[in-house]
C-alpha cells in the first residue's frame, strides 16, 4: 500500500473527500482507498491510504511503457487546499507532473504495514508493526500460487502458447504455468527470513522476488497477473539477465522467418504468431536495456 501525507488546511477532516480516477495506462487494477487518517494532531497532518493488496506494482516504470496506473483524487469541499505544504508533495520530481512518471520520495510504500521505501513525516505514530501470531506450518508445508502473463497483446489462438511453460522456482521446488498462466507449488517449507522466488522462460527476462513464507500465498490473480518482459534471448543456451544489443543481434538472425524455416526459432517469436517480424522488434524494444533488477517488484 502507499500513503499520501497532507496538511489539513480546512477546519475539519470531514471537508476532505477522496476518490479514484480512471487509469489511462497499463493493466487495470482495483485498489481500495481509506482516510483521511490522523498522523500528527499538533501539525494537522493526515494521510490517505491506497490499498493495493494482492496487486503487483512496478515502481519507476517509464510512462511510455504504460502502467499500471492509479489516479488518486483528494478534494476539499470548501476549496481550502494548499498542496505545496503537503509532506508528500515535498521534493516531488517536477518532471513527474509534466508526464515523466518518476519518483516521489515522501509518498512511502508498505508491505504488511512495514515501510519498504519512502519518507514519513516526523512526530507521527510508531511504524513498528504490532506483532502477530505466526500461522502454524501445516503438515507438508504451504502452497504458493498465482498467474503469470507477458505484458503485450497476443491473438486468442496464441494465448495458451505464450502464457504456458513459465518456470517458477523456490527453495528447490518448481512448477510450470499452464495454458492460462496459472502455477501452483505445494509443500513449500516455512521461511520467515525470506526465500527467492524466480520466474523464468526462454526469451523472457527472469524476475526474482524475495518472499517470506508463513502461510499459503496467492501471489496474483488472473485479472491482475505478474507481468514478465520479453527480450532476453538465449545465447548458446544461456540467458544473460538483460535485454540488450546481443538480443537484438540474435533476433536479427531469425528476422522475416516463418515457422518451418531453418532460421525460425519460437524463442524469437515472442507473440507466437509463427513469424519473426516487426511485432517482435517492437516487443523487445519496449524494455530495451532492462535487467532483472529493473522489475523492482513490490508485492503489497
CA dist., res. 253 & res. 270, Å (int): 14
pLDDT of 262 reads 95
Query: Is the pTM above the cut of 0.85?
Result: no
Strand 142-150 relative to strand 217-218: parallel, antiparallel, unpaired?
A: parallel
Quote the pLDDT of residue 22. Answer: 61
What integer pLDDT is reported at residue 106 of this predicted model? 83
Contacts of 147 (CB under 8 A, 6+ apart): 177, 180, 181, 182, 183, 220, 221, 222, 225, 226
Which helix (H) or strand (E) segment holds residue 279: the answer is: helix 278-286
Q: What is the CA 214 to chain-centroid distance, rounded?
A: 21
pLDDT along the chain (300 residues), means of 10: 86 80 60 80 86 63 53 80 83 58 74 76 56 50 93 90 95 93 93 91 93 91 91 92 95 95 95 96 94 66
Cell of 182: 496459472
Name the fold adopted by 2-117: Immunoglobulin-like (2.60.40)
What are the residue boundaries of the structural domains of the chain, listed by start? 2-117, 134-300
CATH number of 134-300: 2.60.40.4130
What is the DSSP annotation of 214-266? Answer: SS-EE--BTTB-EEE-B----BTTB--SB-SHHHHHHHHHTTT-BTTSTT--T
Return the C-alpha cell found at 112: 504488511
- Give yes or no on whether 2-117 and 134-300 have one common fold: yes
Amino acid at each position: 500500500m502507499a500513503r499520501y501525507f497532507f496538511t489539513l488546511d480546512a477546519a475539519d477532516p470531514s471537508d476532505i473527500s477522496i476518490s479514484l480516477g480512471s487509469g489511462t495506462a497499463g493493466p487495470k487494477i482495483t485498489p481500495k482507498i481509506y482516510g483521511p487518517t490522523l498522523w500528527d494532531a499538533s501539525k494537522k497532518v493526515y494521510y490517505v491510504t491506497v490499498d493495493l493488496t494482492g496487486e503487483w506494482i512496478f515502481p519507476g516504470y517509464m510512462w511510455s511503457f504504460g502502467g499500471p496506473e492509479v489516479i488518486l483524487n483528494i478534494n476539499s469541499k470548501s476549496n481550502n487546499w494548499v498542496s505545496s505544504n503537503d509532506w508528500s508533495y515535498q521534493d516531488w520530481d517536477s518532471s513527474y507532473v509534466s508526464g515523466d512518471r518518476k519518483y516521489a520520495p515522501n509518498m512511502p510504500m508498505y508491505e504488511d504495514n512495514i515501510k519498504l521505501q519512502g519518507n514519513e513525516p516526523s512526530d507521527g505514530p510508531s511504524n513498528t508493526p504490532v506483532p502477530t501470531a505466526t500461522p502454524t506450518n501445516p503438515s507438508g508445508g504451504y502452497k504458493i500460487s498465482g498467474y503469470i502473463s507477458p505484458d503485450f497483446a497476443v491473438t486468442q489462438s496464441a494465448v495458451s502458447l505464450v502464457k504456458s511453460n513459465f518456470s517458477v522456482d523456490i527453495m528447490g521446488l518448481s512448477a510450470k504455468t499452464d495454458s492460462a498462466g496459472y502455477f501452483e507449488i505445494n509443500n513449500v517449507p516455512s521461511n520467515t527470513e525470506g526465500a527467492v522466488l524466480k520466474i523464468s522462460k526462454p526469451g523472457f527476462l527472469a524476475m526474482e522476488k524475495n518472499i517470506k513464507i508463513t502461510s499459503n500465498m496467492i501471489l496474483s490473480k488472473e485479472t491482475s497477473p505478474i507481468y514478465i518482459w520479453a527480450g532476453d534471448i538465449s545465447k548458446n543456451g544461456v540467458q544473460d539477465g538483460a535485454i540488450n544489443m546481443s538480443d537484438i543481434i540474435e533476433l536479427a538472425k531469425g528476422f522475416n522467418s516463418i515457422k518451418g524455416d531453418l532460421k525460425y526459432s519460437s524463442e524469437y517469436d515472442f507473440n507466437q504468431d509463427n513469424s519473426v517480424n516487426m511485432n517482435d522488434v517492437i516487443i523487445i524494444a519496449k524494455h530495451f536495456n532492462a535487467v532483472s533488477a529493473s522489475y523492482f517488484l513490490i508485492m503489497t
